[in-house]
Amino acid sequence: MTLDGVLAMLKEVTPELSCPVVLFSYFKPVMKRGMADFAAAVREAGAHGLLVPDLPQVATAALRSEAIKNNLELVLLTTPTTTEERMREVTEASSGPALSGPRANVNTRVESLIQEVKQVTDKPVAVGFGISTAEHVKQTLKVLSRKLTNSFFPFIPVHDGVIIGSAMVRQLGEAASPEEGLERLEKYARSMKRALP
Number of neighbouring beta carbons within 10 Å of residue 138: 14
- 51-62 residue pLDDT tens: 888 888 889 889
pLDDT, residue 86, reads 78
Q: What percent of the chain has pLDDT over 90?
A: 31
Is residue 91 a part of any domain in this protein?
no
Is residue 167 a part of any domain in this protein?
yes
CATH number of the domain residue 195 falls in: 3.20.20.70
Same domain, 111 and 46: no
Letter string b/e over residues 152-164, b meaning 16 or more CB atoms within 10 A of that residue's CB:
eeeeeebbbbbbb
pLDDT band at residue 95, thresholds of 50, 70 and 90?
Answer: low
Residue 133 is given by DSSP the state S
- Count of structural domains within the chain: 2
Number of neighbouring beta carbons within 10 Å of residue 43: 19
Rg (CA), the chain: 17
Query: What is the model's pTM?
Result: 0.67
Structural domain range at position 195: 97-197
pLDDT, residue 79, reads 72
Is residue 105 a part of any domain in this protein?
yes
Asked whether the predicted pLDDT for residue 3 surpasses 60, the reply is: yes
Same domain, 136 and 70: no
Is residue 182 a part of any domain in this protein?
yes
Same domain, 105 and 64: no
Same domain, 65 and 114: no
Same domain, 7 and 66: yes
- 105-121 average pLDDT score: 67
Beta strands in 27-85 (DSSP E): 49-51, 73-75, 77-78
Same domain, 32 and 109: no
Same domain, 67 and 103: no
User: Could you tell me which residue, 93 or 43, shows the higher pLDDT?
Assistant: 43
pLDDT band at residue 177, thresholds of 50, 70 and 90?
Answer: very high
Is residue 173 a part of any domain in this protein?
yes
- 64-70 average pLDDT score: 94
Lowest-pLDDT range of 10-14, 41-45, 70-74, 91-95: 91-95
Number of neighbouring beta carbons within 10 Å of residue 129: 23
Same domain, 117 and 71: no
